[in-house]
Amino acid sequence: MPTYLYKAKTLEGKDQSGILEAEDEHRLARTLRQQGLILIKAELEKKEKKKNKIAFSLPFFNKVSLVEKMIFARNLQVMIAAGLPLPRALSTLIAQTKSKKFKRALSDIQEEVMKGKSFSESLEQWPDIFSELFRNMLKVGEEAGTLEEVLKVLAQQMEREYELKSKIKGAMIYPAVIICAMMGIGIMMLIMVVPQLAETFEELEIELPLTTRVVIGLATFLVERWYLFIVIVVFLIFLFLQALKTEKGKKVIDTVTLKIPIVSSIVKKTNSAYTARTLSSLIAAGVPIIRALEITAGTLGNIHYKTAITESVKKVKKGEKLSDALKPYREIYSPMVEQMVAVGEETGETAAILAKLAEFFEEEVGRATQNLASVIEPVLMIIIGAVIGFFAVSMIQPMYSMLGAL
């Protein structure tokens, strides 16, 4: 079926454009008329061009951001609350969306919905945009007739997730900038200053200590084999990214992050907040506890937390309480999580209590990230001082040896 790029006007006279499949222009006009739109112009989309764009677009640059999905959920919730039909609401959102990939996805979803497919089923062809959490909550909302409320909960969930990620990224910017600046200055010194000192030492035939020989050797390598240095750096980055894709590599990295004194506290609080927030949203939407736990396990990034929830699912299936199933994992989930879940199970207010617990951990992450700069600053100063001291001693020591020999 051909795909048309169309321009239309609403009954209020507003311009609107989008992408839609139709047998011909007459069918396209009829479909748009059902949505309350009047077709102005239509042209066939060039398939070859579309395929090439998809083939050569890099995944990193073609990714739909969390902010776009958050705005989508919030705007869709408002439109449905106002009584707007889903196809027309999607058509409006397509016109507002800037991301080409998201626009294409929403156009396909709109088309599927108009063919009679449910909204949640239409999202399944875009798993890289709409997570399992998103799809399952919408499915429950459609079945229970609470789609508006579910979209509101989803928007709040994404807002909290965005705030949490922003706090963590903000805390990491300062040390990252300092470390990059230190490495840049160090490389410049090795390339520009050390070779000149090395020539002087060679002319004076001074016997060099081990540390000086190491520094000069590194400088010589950077000057003469700079391309190998770039290859090694790229290879190490590639190796690290590949390790993240393997279970063993990820387990090692996740274990290390849980052992680092400054970082481990933030990792534990962040994952606890994600667990509580996701479970709360799913249970509030009406998802059964076992399915909610399975979905939550899929959303967690740290393999230790993923394993803890996956193992808890097996125990809950056998009739054990979730609070009891979490007891063996007190080294990653604080006793407070277990106790609050137990209170929720006793009172029947698990969703509300988990939401409060998520807020508590999110606030704790906020405090921890605010204090991170004050903790990391002296550590960075010590590291920088040690590196500068090593470099200075290595270069000055031969000079003192030379002066002592005079």
Specify the higher pLDDT residue, 218 or 143: 218
Which domains are assigned to the chain? 3-130 (1.20.81), 158-406 (1.20.81.30)
Q: What average pLDDT does the segment 169-198 reach?
A: 83
pLDDT value at position 45? 59
Q: What average pLDDT does the segment 177-199 reach?
A: 85
| Lowest mean pLDDT segment, chosen from 5-14, 78-87, 228-237, 315-324 | 5-14
pLDDT value at position 311? 92
pLDDT value at position 27? 77
Is the pLDDT at 234 greater than 90? The verdict is yes
Read off the pLDDT band of 231 (50, 70, 90): very high
Report how far apart the first and last C-alpha atoms of the chain are (Å, whole number).
91
Read off the pLDDT band of 235 (50, 70, 90): very high
Residue pLDDT, tens place only, 302-357? 889 989 999 999 999 999 999 999 999 988 998 898 899 999 989 988 889 998 99
Is the pLDDT at 46 greater than 70? The verdict is no
pLDDT value at position 54? 40
- DSSP β-bridge partners for residue 17: 7
Residue pLDDT, tens place only, 79-138? 888 888 888 888 888 888 888 888 888 998 888 888 888 888 888 888 888 887 788 888
pLDDT value at position 1? 62
pLDDT value at position 402? 65
Locate 53 and state its tokens.
């764009």
